[in-house]
């Protein structure tokens, strides 16, 4: 039995696409997403004055609480969250299931491969 | 599953209208439950005609302050347990129910668990990750509440 | 308690030295993934011997009413049994963490060796975590 490529195994983050809008955090039914950001002034060439942009500091999903509903993926206006089929990320303690920005980004940048297990 | 026709009836006609539908062939009870509309409660029952597989959803509204409705348990034996569950979950009294004991809740649970006005202490006490941090954006936005959590909930 | 006397046991097909005893206490969705693991041959029926390591798999939402059964399930097994919390509910209460009658994770009742995320986790995740949990 191979794992289908569209399996809801884990949610990955594309940090460069995230604007810290907090929609995913607010819509998550189990409150398992946390996001920290701060505001910076950015000068654009040719612009009369600098504009304020949000900078993502930390993004985390507590997979011990996550119910894999996908609402966060559905509401993100920038497609910064996506499904991946990986499932082998159990942990020996609760904190090991809280994945932060780098771990979430690893799922999406292809540094983790999709595992398949067949019955012997 | 075929989409069911929805029939809204006054609460006073609940038993008579459903008895009529049962006599017309809709004699199989699928489910009986309620929906909290906050000002009142909608009690819903789905009946199926086993011959044609047609289904009908019957709905009646009862006010929160006096939430009573006739019991269907004598007409449809399957309604017995479903009314016991709906009664304890929403705080509705089914008049004439032969055995109105709680089905699932244990003694000591004062408020109906499925009413939106019944607070979930864990949600009140746990900080919501979606609350705006103290940032320069916070004042520009109106305060956002977590979905489903009411302002009227009090901390225990 | 009757439920724990009849708790079913299986062996991991890819590592038969691991016996998996399922604390199947009438808990919901995650139980179906255990069933799927059995039906697909990832778990095979126990051979009845006492050989090998034992894993107690707690799958599903644990309510206050069922909490004593979880503790009892562990005491009826060998002392080196490792507990695997299977799925969000066994890990933290899952989507029902806010319900007053739900235990917010079986680690409030018994020591847990491995927490398996998922709602529900797939059978392959069960095997991977059980093998890790038995180690």
pLDDT in tens, C97-113: 999 889 999 999 999 99
How would you class C50 by CB atoms within 10 Å of its CB: exposed for 0-12, middle for 13-18, buried for 19 or more? exposed
Domains and CATH numbers, chain B: 5-95 (3.30.460.80), 119-156 (no CATH)
Among candidates B106, B109, B122 on the partner chain, residue whose Cβ is nearest the Cβ of C98: B122
Nearest CA in chain A to C39: A119
Residue A91's φ and ψ, nearest 5 degrees, are: -135, 160
Question: Which domain does C9 fall in, by range?
Answer: 2-134
**Spatial separation of the C-alpha atoms in residues A74 and A72, rounded to whole Å:** 5
Residue A118 confidence (pLDDT): 33
CA distance A25 to chain B (A): 5
Residue that the structure tokens 């000068």 belong to: A43
Query: Residue C67 burial (CB < 10 Å; 0-12/13-18/19+)?
Result: middle
Q: Please name the residues between 62 and 121 in chain C that touch chain A, using a CB distance below 8 Å.
A: 88, 91-92, 94-95, 97, 105, 107, 113-119, 121
- Say yes or no to pLDDT of B3 above 80: no
CATH number for the domain that contains residue C130 = 3.40.50.12280
Better-scored residue on pLDDT, A25 or C57: A25
> Is the four-CA dihedral C96, C100, C106, C108 of positive or negative sign?
positive
Give the pLDDT score at A116.
Answer: 38
Q: Which residues contact A16 (CB under 8 A, 6 or more apart)?
A: none
Please give the average per-residue pLDDT across B21-32, as a whole number: 97
pTM for this structure? 0.84
What whole-number distance in Å separates Cα of residue C57 and Cα of residue C74?
10
Tens digits of per-residue pLDDT, B63-74? 998 999 999 999
Which value does ipTM take for this structure? 0.86
Long-range contacts of A92-97 (CB under 8 A, 24+ apart): A92/C113, A92/C114, A92/C115, A93/C115, A94/A64, A94/C91, A94/C92, A94/C105, A94/C107, A94/C115, A96/C115, A97/A62, A97/A63, A97/A64, A97/C91, A97/C115, A97/C117
Size of interface A-C (CB pairs under 8 A): 86
Determine contact, residues B62/B77, Cβ cutoff 8 Å: no
pLDDT at B5: 85
Return the domain boundaries, chain A.
10-108
Q: What DSSP character marks residue C40?
A: T
User: Beta-strand (E) ranges in B20-152?
Assistant: 28-36, 40-48, 55-63, 68-70, 93-95
Would an 8 Å CB–CB cutoff place A27 in contact with chain B? yes
Tens-digit pLDDT profile for residues C35-88: 898 888 888 888 777 777 888 888 889 998 889 988 888 888 888 888 999 999
Count of the separate structural domains present in chain C? 1
pLDDT at A117 exceeding the cut of 50: no
pLDDT of residue A83: 97
In sequence order, the 6+-apart residues with CB closer than 8 A to the CB of C116 are: A90, C84, C85, C86, C87, C91, C125, C126, C129
Contact list, B109 vs chain C (CB under 8 Å): 100
To the question of domain A10-108 being in CATH 3.30.70.3270, the answer is yes
| Between C7 and B127, residue with greater pLDDT | B127
Q: How many residues does chain A have?
A: 120
Backbone angles phi, psi at B73, to 5 degrees: -65, -30
The token duo for C17 is 């030295």
Cα–chain center distance at A96: 16
């Amino acid at each position: 039995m191979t794992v289908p490529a569209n399996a809801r195994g884990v949610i990955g983050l594309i940090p460069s696409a995230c604007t810290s809008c907090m929609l995913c955090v607010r819509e998550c039914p189990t409150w398992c997403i946390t996001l920290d950001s701060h505001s910076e002034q950015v000068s654009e060439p040719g612009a009369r004055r600098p504009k304020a942009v949000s900078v993502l500091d930390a993004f985390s999903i507590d997979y011990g609480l996550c119910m894999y509903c996908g609402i966060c993926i559905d509401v993100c206006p920038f497609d910064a969250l996506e499904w991946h089929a990986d499932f082998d990320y159990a942990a020996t303690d609760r904190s090991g299931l809280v994945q932060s920005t780098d771990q979430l980004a690893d799922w999406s940048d292809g540094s983790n491969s999709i595992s398949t297990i067949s019955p012997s | 599953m075929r989409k069911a026709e929805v029939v809204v009836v006054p609460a006073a006609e609940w038993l008579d209208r459903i008895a009529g539908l049962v006599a017309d062939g809709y004699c199989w009870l699928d489910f009986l439950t309620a929906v909290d509309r906050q000002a009142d409660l909608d009690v819903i029952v789905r009946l199926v005609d086993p011959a044609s597989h047609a289904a009908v959803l019957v709905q009646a509204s009862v006010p929160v302050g006096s939430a009573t409705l006739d019991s269907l348990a004598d007409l449809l034996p399957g309604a017995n347990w479903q009314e016991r569950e709906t009664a304890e979950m929403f705080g509705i009294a089914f008049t004439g129910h032969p055995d109105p004991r709680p089905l699932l809740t244990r003694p000591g649970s004062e408020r109906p668990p499925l009413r939106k006005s019944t607070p979930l202490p864990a949600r009140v006490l746990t900080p919501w990750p979606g609350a705006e941090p103290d940032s320069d954006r916070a004042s520009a936005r109106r305060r956002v509440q977590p979905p489903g959590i009411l302002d009227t909930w009090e901390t225990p | 308690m009757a439920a724990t006397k009849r708790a079913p046991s299986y062996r991991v097909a890819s590592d038969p030295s691991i016996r998996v005893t399922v604390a199947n206490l009438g808990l919901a969705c995650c139980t179906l993934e255990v069933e799927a693991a059995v039906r697909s041959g990832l778990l095979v029926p126990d051979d009845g011997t006492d050989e090998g390591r034992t894993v107690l798999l707690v799958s599903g939402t644990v309510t206050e009413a069922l909490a004593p059964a979880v503790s009892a399930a562990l005491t009826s097994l060998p002392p080196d049994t490792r507990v695997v919390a299977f799925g969000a509910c066994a890990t933290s209460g899952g989507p029902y963490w806010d319900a007053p009658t739900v235990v917010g994770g079986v680690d409030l009742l018994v020591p847990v060796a491995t927490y398996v995320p998922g709602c529900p986790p797939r059978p392959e995740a069960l095997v991977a975590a059980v093998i890790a949990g038995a180690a």
